[in-house]
Amino acid sequence: MQREHVLGEMRALLSGVQNVIGALAEDDMKAVAETARPLGRSMAGKAEDHLKGVLPKHFMQLGMDVHHDFDRIATLAESGADSKAVLSELSRSMKKCQACHAHYQIDTLKSSAREEKSSHHGH
């Protein structure tokens, strides 16, 4: 369950980054804000409590920082900041994604092996 939650959240963030970049290319700050805001702290609060005891503290901190960054991106876009300021914030946030992916990996082989093993026990 936690694995699916984390992967789903990362996919949503990646999709959000792509949509923010696309909106910036069109100089559409309204779309930037509408894309970024749901990826902020409101997204983080939905299921983080059950992850705190499972995931490393540093992993959780990087994730929360990224959610805060998306709130800042939305606020910048809403306040009339230019594309360069928003891109700068997005770049700063992406460095956190890069750091996290450099240090952590969800071991899909073990997860798949456990799922396969547990399905054989039912027979």
**Tell me: the pLDDT tens digits for 61-94?**
888 899 999 999 999 999 999 999 999 999 999 9
pLDDT in the model for residue 114: 45
b/e per residue 84-115 (b: at least 16 CB within 10 A):
eebeebbeebeebbeebeeeeeeeeeeeeeee
Separation between Cα atoms, residue 74 and residue 59, nearest integer Å: 23
**Dihedral of the alpha carbons of 75, 48, 102, 62, in degrees to the nearest 10:** 40
pTM: 0.79
* Domain residue ranges in the chain: 2-114
Tell me which fold the domain 2-114 belongs to. Answer: Four Helix Bundle (Hemerythrin (Met), subunit A) (1.20.120)
